[in-house]
Amino acid sequence: MTDAVGSIDMPDAEDEAPESNKKSRKGGKRGKKGPLGRLALFYRQIVAELRKVVWPTRSQLTTYTSVVIVFVVVMIGLVTVLDMGFARVIKYVFG
């Protein structure tokens, strides 16, 4: 099957690199590190990602928390009313 660029089954010639010019390494950079090195890299990446996070201010956090609590209380009330209504209907139908 082909598309506008070329064959899906066969990669383009410029995408292929001759294997004689490159050393084939099994795992890339991660391949030569041991388990502790990979674990250290993992934690460094976690810290780097956490530094990118935009943390909410105290007032935003208070607002978000209040909205969530109010929403949960409203949903609890709605489910309770529906449950009591269905219970009365079932009691009426089945005696």
The one-digit pLDDT tens for each residue of the chain (95 residues) are 555 555 556 555 555 555 555 555 555 555 567 889 999 999 999 999 999 999 999 999 999 999 999 999 999 999 999 999 999 999 999 98
Q: How far is CA 90 from CA 59, 77, 81, 83, 85, in A?
A: 46, 20, 14, 10, 9
Distance from C-alpha of 6 to C-alpha of 50, rounded to nearest angstrom = 41
pLDDT of residue 12: 57
Q: What's this model's pTM, rounded to 2 decimal places?
A: 0.50
Residue type, 65: T
pLDDT of residue 95: 81
Q: Report CA dihedral (42, 45, 46, 51) to the nearest 10 degrees.
A: 170
Cα 16 from chain centre: 33
pLDDT of residue 33: 76
Question: H helices then E strands: how many in the chain?
Answer: 2, 0
